[in-house]
Structures are given as C-alpha cells and as structure tokens.
Structure 1
Amino acid sequence: MSTIIMSQCWPLQQLSVTQKAVLISLADQANDDGVCWPAIATIGKRCCMSARAVRSAMDHLELVGLLSRERRFNSSNVYLVTPDKFDAAAALPKGKRKSAKSGDAPGAGDAPRAGGAPDAVGGAPRAGGGAAGAALEVRPVPPNRHITINEPSDEPSFPAGLSAPPAKRDSETELQAACRATWAAYAKAYAFRHGAAPVRNAKVNANVKQLVQRLGHSEAPLVAAWFLSVNERYVVQSFHDLGSLLAKCEAYRTQWATGRQMTQTSAMQQDQTQGNASTADEAKAMLRQMRGQANAH
C-alpha cells in the first residue's frame, strides 16, 4: 500500500460511491509510483461489487484521468493510478461541463494534489472566474486515513446513557476452566481405550457442564477419566458415552473414590451375601428366644 497515492485519492470529489471504492482499492494495492496489477475479481470481492460494476467504474476513472491501463494477454492488467492528472471538469455531469468551462462554476473539482499543491483545474484562477491575480483557496490534504496514531482500545465503547455489561464473575471463569479440563481428561482416556477421538457437539458440551456442576470442579475431570476403565456391559456397548456417565455420575464418583467398581455380578453377590447375613441374624434371634423360653420353664 502506498500512503502517498492513498492520501491523494481520499480528498477527490465528484466521483460516485462505486467509482471511489474502486479507486481506493487500487490505491491500497499500488506502490509509490501508483502501479498495481490486481485481478478484476479481486477488486470486486474487496469492494462487494460485480465484475461488470468494477469495469464500468474503471472506464470512468480512465476517462477523468485517474487511471491508465496496460492490457496484457493471459495475465492481470497493469494499472497506473494517477490522482495528479484528475480532470475535474470531465468528472462533472454533462449539463455542468459547459458552465464549468465558461467559468460559471468556479471551485468545481477543487481536489488538491499531494503536498497541498492545487491541481490544474481547481487550484488556479479560471478565465472569467474572478479578479485578475486572485487565487482560489487551497485546502490542505487530509491525513491518510489508513494510518492512526492511537491504537484502538481493548475495551468496547458503549452509547451514551448505557452502562457496560457486568464483568464475568470468577465462578463463571472457573466453571469454563473446569469444563475444559474435564473434556480434555475424558477425551484423552477415550482415545487411549477406543483408539479414536470422541465426538464433541452441543449436546456433549451440555453434558460436560452438568457433570462439572454435579461433581465439582476438582473431581469432575478425575471421574471423567476414570470412567473409561468401567467395564459394565451397557457402558462398554455404548462406548463410554458421556450420557451414561452423567446418568449415574454420583454413583461412579463413589466407585472412583473407593476404588471399587460395582458391576452387576458384584451387586448380585453383595445382595446374596446381605440376604444370607439377614437369614443368619434371624436364626440367631430365634435361637436366643427359644433358649430364653426354656430357661423360664
């Protein structure tokens, strides 16, 4: 980008929005000599225009002296942006060109050249346009709009009368960090056991958040990783999906904390043991009762 060419193009008037946009796009890609060679499609994409609109704008820019083209075969054309050759009279509508030439419209096309020097049309007195030796006012060239001294602030601005939204609470930040840690632990253990990365979508993200909220920030990642060691039949058949973990996360947390996995077989064994113990207790109670009755007689 040439700041010299760009600073000469910005002040130019009497151009349509389309023509000005194409001119600025060319100046943005030109070197200090005004030379560039972008494709029509590239200019159209940058300016949000069709190729036809770009060509039409270029034809006008060439007509008023702002652009010259060197057409090449099987390659991009070479363009020369020449803001110092701008013919403001040619840029006027047809009905006003005659009056501008006769001096009825002094000041038309007063776009200054680079460095503040007046151009051939607007910077020197026209015949019949004023007193002899009188010079038109020359406006200084505005600074290049592509250069800014003050960097943009990281803080967003808000309209007058509206207050900025409240800052995120620390708990929200901790929740997000815990969710990331939980997913990372689960995904690593999942890939180690199943040899593939787990699917992550909106439903999975919601499951991770609920898991963290139910088990806590510190324990959720540990339980999620441990869950991949569970060998329950339905869990293995579902490839340890997070829905299975979430359905009984408190129970799995207890198994993780105690180091014992409660499978269906072990649950049946414990139930049988408990049943046997209850039967034995009942038998002992009956025996004590019978002995008490015998001693009473």
Structure 2
Amino acid sequence: MSSKLHGLVWEACAFKGLIISEIAVMARLADFSNDEGVSWPAVTTIQRQIGAKSENTVRSAIKKLQAKGWLKKQERRVGGKNNSNVYKLNVDMLERAAAEAKIFYATPREQSKSDASEFEGSKFEGSNSDASNNGSVPPQI
C-alpha cells in the first residue's frame, strides 16, 4: 500500500474534476499500489470495496481514467485464462495535480461579498419572565 499515492489521489483528483466513482477507483488502486503506482486488484474486489453497484461501474471508471491519462491498464492472460489486470497510476500527473491543488487552496481568496461582520447579532434579548420562576414559565416574546 502506498500512503504517498493515496494522499496524492485525495489531493489531486477532485481538484481536477474527476467524479466520485473515478476518485473511489483511483483511491482503491492507490491503496493496492506500490510507490511506483503498480497494482493488480480484481475488478470485483474494487467493486465490493468501494460499494459500486456493478462491475460495469468500475470498468467504466477505469476506461475514463485511462482516456484522461490518470492510469494505464495491461490485460493479463496466463495459460489461456484471464488474470486480474495490471494497473499503473500516472504518478507524475498525480504529483503535478496535487501541487497545483495545494497552491490553489493556499492562495488567499477574495472575501465574499456577504461578509459575516455585516450581519447584526440576534435581536433576541432573552426571557421576559421573572427570574424567580426558575424556568417554569415559558419566555414571553
């Protein structure tokens, strides 16, 4: 498991506009990966662990991630049987995107036009009841 890659995924992927299913798949692949971004979990494993409704959700996310350049997939067959694919996360892309995100979020933003200091405090003055009532009478408004 690469905690380095896991952190990069969370820092970079949403910032770059990936949707939640893509981010979840990237995070699981990062969890399975070594520091070079290589892993080979089964699609069914990813599906089960991210709570996807179907394997197609995972396959679709992987296909989109490939098209966007976030990962490469190598299909494997051993002795005429399918094995789990090998995935290689684009570590350079993750590092660049995470660095961009950190700079973006560290840069002070223009203050909102509805600054909180413009709002007055509550007009409620507390209970109008006599203090000797010990709270037995509801406050009069």
Counterpart of 1:69 in structure 2 is 73
Q: Which runs of 5+ in 2 are unaligned?
A: 107-141
Find the aligned partners of 2:93 and 2:2 in 1 and give their Cα distance. Answer: 17
Number of residues of Structure 1 aligned to a counterpart in Structure 2: 97
Counterpart of 2:97 in structure 1 is 111
Find the aligned partners of 1:58 and 1:42 in 2 and give their Cα distance. Answer: 14
The SS at the match of 2:73 is strand
Residues 65 and 83 in structure 1, CA contact (< 8 A), matched pair in contact too: no
Deviations along 1:255-282, one digit per CA (max 9) or x if unpaired, are: xxxxxxxxxxxxxxxxxxxxxxxxxxxx
Residues 36 and 91 in structure 2, CA contact (< 8 A), matched pair in contact too: no
Counterpart of 1:200 in structure 2 is none
More strand by share: 2
Matched, 1:85 2:50: no
User: Normalising by structure 2, what TM-score?
Assistant: 0.61
Matches within 5 A, 1:217-296: none
The SS at the match of 2:88 is strand
Shift of 1:72: 0.7
Q: Which amino acid aligns with 1:75?
A: N
Matches within 5 A, 1:203-214: none
Counterpart of 1:9 in structure 2 is 9
Q: Which runs of 5+ in 1 are unaligned?
A: 87-109, 123-136, 142-297
Counterpart of 2:135 in structure 1 is none
Deviations along 1:159-204, one digit per CA (max 9) or x if unpaired, are: xxxxxxxxxxxxxxxxxxxxxxxxxxxxxxxxxxxxxxxxxxxxxx
Matches within 5 A, 1:93-242: 111-112=97-98, 116=99, 118=100, 138-139=103-104
User: Normalising by structure 1, what TM-score?
Assistant: 0.30
Shift of 1:85: 2.5
Deviations along 1:84-142, one digit per CA (max 9) or x if unpaired, are: 226xxxxxxxxxxxxxxxxxxxxxxx833xxx4x4xxx8xxxxxxxxxxxxxx82589x
Give the aligned CA root-mean-square deviation in angstroms. Answer: 2.4
Residues 65 and 82 in structure 1, CA contact (< 8 A), matched pair in contact too: yes
Residues 22 and 58 in structure 1, CA contact (< 8 A), matched pair in contact too: yes
Counterpart of 1:59 in structure 2 is 63
Residues 70 and 78 in structure 1, CA contact (< 8 A), matched pair in contact too: yes
Identity rate of aligned residues, in percent?
A: 35
Find the aligned partners of 1:57 and 1:47 in 2 and give their Cα distance. Answer: 12
Find the aligned partners of 1:78 and 1:19 in 2 and give their Cα distance. Answer: 17
Q: Which has the higher contact order (CA 8 A, sep 6+)?
A: 2
More helix by share: 1
Q: Which amino acid aligns with 2:89?
A: V
Partner residue of 2:35 out of 32, 35, 45: 32
Misfit runs of 4+, over 6 Å:
none
Find the aligned partners of 2:97 and 2:87 in 1 and give their Cα distance. Answer: 22
Residues 38 and 86 in structure 2, CA contact (< 8 A), matched pair in contact too: yes
Max Rg structure: 1
Find the aligned partners of 2:4 and 2:86 in 1 and give their Cα distance. Answer: 19
Shift of 1:60: 0.9
Shift of 1:45: 0.3
